[in-house]
Structure 1
């Protein structure tokens, strides 16, 4: 079993990078609308704080987490937005402090977890490393919404490998979420990382392929940009269809983003 510590470190670093973006914002900037409909900067951070708390309960109190799942099932269409709305109503300093405290508690709980343990989640049970990987993906994606709102261009890091991996592994889920049968064969996926390494998945001789830079692939699978604006390419009809529907997140298909030309 590999040491999960580097994954926990990457989650800490990804969160710290976003923290630096919002730490000095004025109350007016916390209220700025982000690309996510009806969500301000405060909603984005409140959602992360809420999900970190959910993850903490999953790791430390399975019974309490089951209560959250029951609430989610009872209000599937509104549960996520309600969690974000509750936190977004807090004064910005209180929300920031709550997010910081929650992610610190989650970090300690993940690092203290028993090797090989699996924890309940809204989907299949997860290991501590998988839980941290999912939190990296969400932190990066919602951080992208904040960065776009503030006009900040973030330098991509090799932490994107976690997001890429989730996106690749979620291929069949994306097809199923759209009511489509999953392709029978694996795709070859070749992603160029920020440091120049190529991250590869699937058989080298697979006839259907997806290639592109890590940042663009992550923007695609988190639905933070339209594929028309990204340098991600597909060979083969199923691979091409995947790029239209890819998602790295659980739940129903998202609305995605419109091509930049549509906003002009």
Structure 2
């Protein structure tokens, strides 16, 4: 596969950064991740807008326009030889003379093979572990995933797929995806301390057509009242959550409302760009 790095397209194996990059020294960087369907980048305008907003929060300059970046995506897709690919943007603080100052960001765009699908998870649902934490600057996708990686072995030992963040009695999100519960026909999702996911936005638009939707603080105490739960992301789509720690959600199986949203989302992406 190929990537774009600071003005040039090259094989991924040839790209490298110097050891004084602020992403390495200070963890100062952000990323975004999305994919194509039928060769067309999914929700491209939304992902670009989020990426630019995140860069502004970190005071990092995005060196290209959206149109220029789209041309690079087209070329990377062509070079991949694949019907569909994923794209990963990485923007770091760049090379710093004093390990603090930002001079010029480094920008990397990687074309990747699509992640391995998890159809079994969509059929059986996944387990998540509650973890008391709120991400720093949750509105952006920073490159800091300390807890997810640090606790990976613990999650595996408990048969869990992810962590569910909560703080001060409120639920926010999973480490890499948004979180929802159904209480009857009412869909609830958090409104703060979250990344405003693009898949989340699409699923909310689908849900509003036939369910009552509440975007508001979600209390930890509400988890016990949930009839269904699910999480959304580029890779997970609409993934049922059937267990939270020791608590079984509903009857322990993916719920009918969740599966309906999953089917609607699948139909949307299968026809995307056609």
- TM-score, normalised with respect to structure 1: 0.29
- TM-score, normalised with respect to structure 2: 0.29
More strand by share: 2
More helix by share: 1
From the CA coordinates, give the structure whose radius of gyration is larger.
Answer: 2
